[in-house]
Amino acid sequence: MKKNLAKQVFQFKETNCTIIADDESAINTAVSSIRFHRKQLERYIQAHPKFLYSLQPVPVDNEPRIVRLMADASEKANVGPMAAVAGVLADLAVEDMVLAGSEVAVVENGGEVSAVSNQPVDIALSAGDSPLSRQIGFRLKEFPVGVATSSGLFSHALSFGEAEAVTIFALNAGLADAAATAAGNLIKGDDWSEAVERGIKEALRIEGVRGVFIVYRGIVGKAGQVPQLIKVNTEKEAGAV
C-alpha cells in the first residue's frame, strides 16, 4: 500500500485492531464504530447468554445489527454466532469508514480483515510456528473483501480441528470468520490430504465464500478465488491475517 496512509493500533477489552485509512478522521470513525457495536453486543449477551455459548446457530429477531449479522454468518456456516464476532466488528467499522468518505478502509481485528480500497492491500498469513507463517501473504485487489484465518493449533479461538491455518476469502469478514471456523473444525486425522480436501469442500459449500487456503501438516491446499500469493516483508504490511 502507499505510505501516505493513516494507521492506528486500537485495543478495547478483548478487541485488538489495526486500522488503516486515507484520512485520520476515518480512524476515529472506526474506533467509535467498534466501541458502539461491541457495547450493543455486550448488552444483548447479558439478556441472551445462549448467544455467547452456543456452538450452533441461534435464531434472532429484530435485534441490534451486529447481532443480526453474526447470526446470519453463523447460520450460513452452521457454527455458533460468536465465531463471527471479530469479522463482523471489522465489517461494521469499514462500512462506517466508507460512509464517512474514506476510499481506503482496512480493519484487521484479531487476524480477521475487512477491506475496501482503491489500491492493493497486502496481508500476511499468520499461522503460529508454521514455516509459512509471516513468510507468505496475499495481495488483495478486489473489494470489498473479508479474510479470516482459523487455526486448530495456534489460535486463542475455539476450534475442533488441527490445521495450522484455514484462510477464507469471502464477501465480508463476518462470513469469512464463521466459514474458517466451520472448515477448520473438520481438518484433523492421519489422512492429511483427505483432511485438507474435506476442509476445502466444506468452505466452498458456504454461500458467499470465494476462496480457501489451508495449511495442514506441511500440506497446502487451495481452491476457488485465492488472491495472488506474495512474499512478505512484515515490517511494511498493512495488516496480518
Question: Domain segments of the chain: what residues?
Answer: 6-240
Are 149 and 132 a contacting pair, CB within 8 Å?
A: no
pLDDT score recorded for residue 1: 54
Please give the angle made by the CA atoms of 210, 125 and 108, to the nearest 5 degrees: 75
pLDDT score recorded for residue 82: 96
What CATH fold (topology level) applies to the domain 6-240?
Answer: T-fold (3.10.520)
pLDDT score recorded for residue 132: 57
Cell of 215: 495449511
Q: How buried is 90 (Cβ within 10 angstroms: 0-12 exposed, 13-18 middle, 19+ buried)?
A: buried
Instruction: Give the span between the Cα atoms of 73 and 156, in whole angstroms.
Output: 20
From the first residue on, what is the mean pLDDT of each consecutive set of 10 residues in the chain (241 residues)? Answer: 79 89 94 96 95 94 93 97 96 97 95 95 73 75 95 61 90 97 93 95 97 92 95 55 36
Q: What is the pTM of this model?
A: 0.90
pLDDT score recorded for residue 120: 95
pLDDT score recorded for residue 240: 40
